[in-house]
Structure 1
Amino acid sequence: MPRILVVAPSWVGDCVMAQPLLARLKARPEAPEIDVLAPAWSATLFKRMPEVNAVIENPFAHGELKLLDRFRLGRQLARARYDQAVVLPNSLKSALAPFFARIPVRTGFVGEARYGLLNDVRSLNKIEYPLMVERYALLAERRGAPLPRPVPEPRLTVDPARRQATLTRLGLEDSGPIAVFCPGAEYGPAKRWPAAHFAALARALAGQHFRVWLVGSAKDREIAEEIVAAAEHIPLNLCGKTSLDEAIDVVSLASLVVTNDSGLMHVAAALGRPVVALFGSSSPRFTPPLSRRARVVRLDLPCSPCFERVCPLGHFRCMIDLTPARVLDEVARLGEGGES
């Protein structure tokens, strides 16, 4: 059986968008065995993808070279006798371990002039392939071959027993409609809907008998506490109280997810949850939530998208003017079965 090593990206959303690539690789006639080289924190994502045989920890922090350590990792990987490596990040560093492992076919986009490190080098037409999920999936095809469309939506699996264990540990009950808010965004504050808006939406949904849970990392705890205070303690703040694995289990229970453009947005879409995705400084033309049950809400201001971490004009209108009433309208449309 052929063996393929996939070098994974570092961001949660990018890891989720790699799943259709894995599915296409696995669907080859020879049904190869697929291992993923990924940061330890993202292992849980790939373990929820049935195409993956094993996850190998990538021990290097963002920006670290550690050339000798990468050589040693490559020699360890050589023992597995992989037939192909597919390198998803565009950095030179990410191509080093497959090169040191002497994997015969090393596939990836040109990136940082990686000729030699990669020997199946692809050029990317960004206009023809605007979506990140398409760019990843394209690497499963022969060089120069077109991408079969549509690319399937990413999917993550949930184990009911493990989910129940998560609920028990957190003291949660799965009853009634649950609205999950994801108020964080790792990239920066320009992608975050204001806490006051989340709070107003929480009060409105509570009036519709929703329970509201706030989900995110420890970095999101401060904004989550602002939401709780402004919403008269209606939401339950779970930010920083779950591992990524547990956060996935919690999100999988949602009747509704309202989220910034973030990794958890992609997780919610891949779990098939109804999603209202809030876009300001970023663009859904590149990394939208990939689900027929997702709706994108944005204002299309002349200054948006700017792709900045902080509003360069200081007014932050792309998010401030995106009112809770507008978002509540989209929630209602989702409830009526509308699709974006």
Structure 2
Amino acid sequence: MITATKPPRFLIIQTAFIGDVILATALLEQLHEARPDAILDVLVRQGNESLLANHPFLTDVLVWQKKGTKYRDLWRLLRTVRERKYDAVLNLQRYGTMGLLTAFSGAKVTIGFTKNPFARFFTHQVDHRFEPGVHEVDRNAGMLPVLGIAEPPRHRPKLYPSVADYTAVKGYQSQSYVCMAPMSVWFTKQYPTERWVELIKSLPKNLTIYLLGAPTDMAACEILKTLSERAEVVNLAGKLSLLKSAALQQGAVMNYVNDSAPLHLCSAMNAPTTAIFCSTVPEFGFGPLADVSRVVQTPELLDCKPCNLHGRKACPLGHFKCAWGIRVEELAQLDL
């Protein structure tokens, strides 16, 4: 428990992927609500720091330059962390490198998940449970009682696009639109191209359809646009930053997303969400959190679903029924 008379300083560590960083922002909301005087810093891997631009509760964002200089930069970070004399370090990452940094941080209180290989060296360990009804934001919030903060009701993650971000996408919002983020790092999390094309063709003609994604998704999204043979499709993959994409998603009639980072962007913006779960399941704790949201999966009971936690590069059984069984007709139902 933190009982210091001066404002406490907390470091939250989440050096995993984009979606994990977005979900970690729920913890920032909870910490600020409970201790508005607290100084809050976050540590993320290089490339994810832009997500936290404009965040009103953050004092500093530490960046781990993981590629190429992974261990050398780790020692640089460790020196910085120790110099700041944090009251508490909350490590949301379950892997060893950040566990090592947490253990040697010099913080009065170090909290992490029991799954971390260095957990025995933390002052406090918290279970990380995959159970129905338990979301990742709930698992992260399980660290709060250690700080003497009663675990509050579930908070949504939250991002803060700037005025410039909203201005940049305003030109795309002159009429009703749908956003689609059709790609994923993992093949088995990704709804098939042919089915995305069918979905595009099924939606009302008065809707503009914006395809969102990273620069590496540009070519695949262009193929979708071509195959759809629909003039109202605009390929924005690689053209918008994450916060600009979030600002655009916020105003959409609907956002169609795989079980991937764009899903969590929608949650952070409370944007209407249709989350397509192929090989994974929302029971892992990464489902949508927006007020208007739904999960669509195959109605067929498959012994092989889920095949693992993160997705795979190919269907291990070769049939990919978890994706092909998802009906376009169900996805296309919009309450406009």
Q: Take 2:169 and 2:150, find their aligned partners in 1: how far apart are those partners?
A: 44
Q: Take 2:158 and 2:225, find their aligned partners in 1: how far apart are those partners?
A: 31
Q: Take 2:277 and 2:9, find their aligned partners in 1: how far apart are those partners?
A: 39
How large is the Cα RMSD of the aligned pairs? 2.5
Match of 2:274 in 1: 276
Q: CA separation of 1:124/1:266 partners in 2, compared to 1, >3 Å: closer, same or farther?
A: closer
Match of 2:184 in 1: 185
Match of 2:100 among 81, 96, 99: 96
Match of 2:4 in 1: none
| SS of residue paired to 1:37 | strand
Q: CA deviation at 1:219?
A: 2.7
Q: CA deviation at 1:184?
A: 1.0
Paired residues, number: 323
Letter in 1 for 2:190: R
Q: Take 1:202 and 1:259, find their aligned partners in 2: how far apart are those partners?
A: 13
Counterpart contact for 2:160–2:243, Cα < 8 Å: no
Counterpart contact for 1:8–1:36, Cα < 8 Å: yes
Gaps of 5+ in 2: 1-6
Match of 2:212 among 190, 211, 215: 215
Q: CA separation of 1:30/1:195 partners in 2, compared to 1, >3 Å: closer, same or farther?
A: closer
Correspondence 1:307-326 to 2 at 5 A: 307=308, 308-309=311-312, 310-326=314-330
Match of 1:236 among 234, 259, 267: 234
Q: CA separation of 1:176/1:276 partners in 2, compared to 1, >3 Å: closer, same or farther?
A: same
Q: CA separation of 1:129/1:117 partners in 2, compared to 1, >3 Å: closer, same or farther?
A: farther
Q: CA separation of 1:128/1:147 partners in 2, compared to 1, >3 Å: closer, same or farther?
A: farther
Letter in 2 for 1:28: A
Gaps of 5+ in 1: 336-340
What's the CA shift string for 1:140-186, capped at 9, x where partnerless? 222899844x312222233333321x238xxx432111110000112
Q: Take 2:266 and 2:105, find their aligned partners in 1: how far apart are those partners?
A: 36
Say whether 1:265 aligns with 2:263: yes
What's the CA shift string for 1:212-271, capped at 9, x where partnerless? 110001232232122111111431111122332332233233221111111011101221
Say whether 1:159 aligns with 2:162: yes
| SS of residue paired to 1:35 | strand
Percent of residue pairs bearing the same amino acid type? 25
Say whether 1:22 aligns with 2:28: yes
Q: CA separation of 1:87/1:54 partners in 2, compared to 1, >3 Å: closer, same or farther?
A: same
| SS of residue paired to 1:141 | helix
Q: CA separation of 1:323/1:141 partners in 2, compared to 1, >3 Å: closer, same or farther?
A: same
Match of 2:84 in 1: 80
Counterpart contact for 2:189–2:280, Cα < 8 Å: yes
Q: Take 1:38 and 1:252, find their aligned partners in 2: how far apart are those partners?
A: 24
Correspondence 1:43-192 to 2 at 5 A: 43-47=49-53, 49-61=55-67, 66=71, 68-115=72-119, 117-127=121-131, 130-142=134-146, 147-148=151-152, 150-164=153-167, 166-167=168-169, 172-186=171-185, 188-192=186-190
Letter in 2 for 1:167: V
Match of 1:32 in 2: 38
What's the CA shift string for 1:278-317, capped at 9, x where partnerless? 1110111121011221111011431322234121121112
Counterpart contact for 2:184–2:258, Cα < 8 Å: yes
